[in-house]
Amino acid sequence: MDGTFEKRKKIIYEFICDDFYIPMKQKEMAALLQVSKEQRGELKEVLDSLVDEGKIYVSKKGKYCKGEAQTLTGVYQAHPRGFGFVTVEGREEDIFIGEDDTGGAFHGDTVEVALTRDGSHRRDGHRQRQEGRVVKILSRGMTTLVGLYEKTKKKNYGFVIPDNRRFLEDVFIPEGRDGGAVDGHKVVVELTSYGGPGRKPEGKITEILGHVNDPGVDIMSIVRGSDLPCEFPEKVLNQAGRVPDHISEADMAGRKDIRDWQMVTIDGEDAKDLDDAVSLTKEGDRYVLGVHIADVANYVQEGSALDREALKRGTSVYLADRVIPMLPHRLSNGICSLNAGEDRLALSCIMTIDENGDVTDHEIAETVIRVDHRMSYTGVSRILKGEDPEAIEKYQDVVPMLAQMAELSGILRDRRHRRGSIDFDFPEAKLILDEKGRPVEIRPYERNAATRLIEDFMLLANETVAEEYFWREVPFLYRTHEAPDEDKMKTLAAFINNFGYTMHIGSQKVQPMEIQKLMGKIEGTPQEALISRLALRSMKQAKYTPENTGHFGLAAKYYAHFTSPIRRYPDLQIHRIIKDDLRGRLNGKKMEHYEKILPEVAKQTSQTERRAEEAERETVKLKKAEYMSQHMGQVFDGVVSSITKWGMYVELPNTVEGLVHVTAMSDDHYEYYEDRYEMVGSHTGRVYKLGQEIRVKVTGADCLQRTIDFEIVKEGEPEDGEKEDRREDDCQQ
For the stretch 4-19, pLDDT in tens is 888 888 999 999 888 8
- Kindly tell me if the per-residue pLDDT of 527 is higher than 90: no
Cα(621)–Cα(676) distance, integer angstroms? 28
Identify which has the larger pLDDT, 230 or 406: 406
Looking at residue 720, what is its pLDDT? 53
Query: Residue 263 — φ and ψ, nearest 5°?
Result: -150, 155
Cα(227)–Cα(689) distance, integer angstroms? 38
CA torsion sign for 587, 592, 593, 598 is positive
- Kindly tell me if the per-residue pLDDT of 40 is higher than 60: yes
668 contacts 686 by C-beta, under 8 angstroms: yes
- Could you tell me the pLDDT band of residue 131, with boundaries at 50, 70 and 90? confident
247-256 average pLDDT score = 93
Report the range out of 113-122, 181-190, 288-297, 528-537 with the highest average pLDDT.
288-297
Summarised one tens digit per residue, pLDDT across range 690-702 is 878 899 999 999 9
- Kindly tell me if the per-residue pLDDT of 88 is higher than 80: yes
C-alpha dihedral (460, 464, 470, 476), degrees to nearest 10: -70
Cα(422)–Cα(542) distance, integer angstroms? 14
* 3 state SS of 299: coil
- Kindly tell me if the per-residue pLDDT of 103 is higher than 50: yes
160-189 average pLDDT score = 92
- Kindly tell me if the per-residue pLDDT of 143 is higher than 80: yes
94-116 average pLDDT score = 88
pLDDT averaged over the chain? 89
Cα(224)–Cα(230) distance, integer angstroms? 8
Report the range out of 348-362, 491-505, 713-727 with the highest average pLDDT.
348-362
- Could you tell me the pLDDT band of residue 118, with boundaries at 50, 70 and 90? low
- Stretch (H or E) spanning 293: strand 286-294
| Bridge partners (DSSP) listed for residue 429 | 444
36-65 average pLDDT score = 83
Query: Residue 647 — φ and ψ, nearest 5°?
Result: 150, -170
- Could you tell me the pLDDT band of residue 723, with boundaries at 50, 70 and 90? very low
- Kindly tell me if the per-residue pLDDT of 522 is higher than 90: no
- Kindly tell me if the per-residue pLDDT of 549 is higher than 70: yes
468 contacts 452 by C-beta, under 8 angstroms: no
* 3 state SS of 259: coil
- Stretch (H or E) spanning 138: strand 130-139
Short-list 115, 117, 74, 82, CA closest to 98: 82
Cα(223)–Cα(207) distance, integer angstroms? 14
- Could you tell me the pLDDT band of residue 728, with boundaries at 50, 70 and 90? very low
67-93 average pLDDT score = 84
Query: Residue 343 — φ and ψ, nearest 5°?
Result: -70, 135
Q: Which amino acid is at 407?
A: E
Q: Quote the percentage of the chain above a pLDDT of 70.
A: 94
- Could you tell me the pLDDT band of residue 2, with boundaries at 50, 70 and 90? low
- Could you tell me the pLDDT band of residue 726, with boundaries at 50, 70 and 90? very low
CB-based contacts of 154, cutoff 8 Å, min separation 6: none
Cα(225)–Cα(162) distance, integer angstroms? 9
300-308 average pLDDT score = 97
Q: Quote the percentage of the chain above a pLDDT of 90.
A: 60
Cα(99)–Cα(81) distance, integer angstroms? 8
Identify which has the larger pLDDT, 65 or 343: 343
Looking at residue 724, what is its pLDDT? 41
Query: What's the Cα-to-Cα distance from 616 to each of 219, 227, 392, 469, 579, rounded to whole Å?
Result: 10, 13, 36, 32, 33
- Could you tell me the pLDDT band of residue 730, with boundaries at 50, 70 and 90? very low
Burial classification of residue 588, based on how many CB atoms lie within 10 Å of its CB (0-12 exposed, 13-18 middle, 19 or more buried) = exposed
Cα(577)–Cα(348) distance, integer angstroms? 14
Looking at residue 733, what is its pLDDT? 46
Short-list 77, 62, 75, CA closest to 115: 62
What does the chain come to in residues? 733
Identify which has the larger pLDDT, 395 or 321: 395
- Could you tell me the pLDDT band of residue 343, with boundaries at 50, 70 and 90? very high
- Kindly tell me if the per-residue pLDDT of 270 is higher than 90: no
* 3 state SS of 613: helix
Looking at residue 125, what is its pLDDT? 47
617-626 average pLDDT score = 94
443-470 average pLDDT score = 94
- Could you tell me the pLDDT band of residue 716, with boundaries at 50, 70 and 90? low
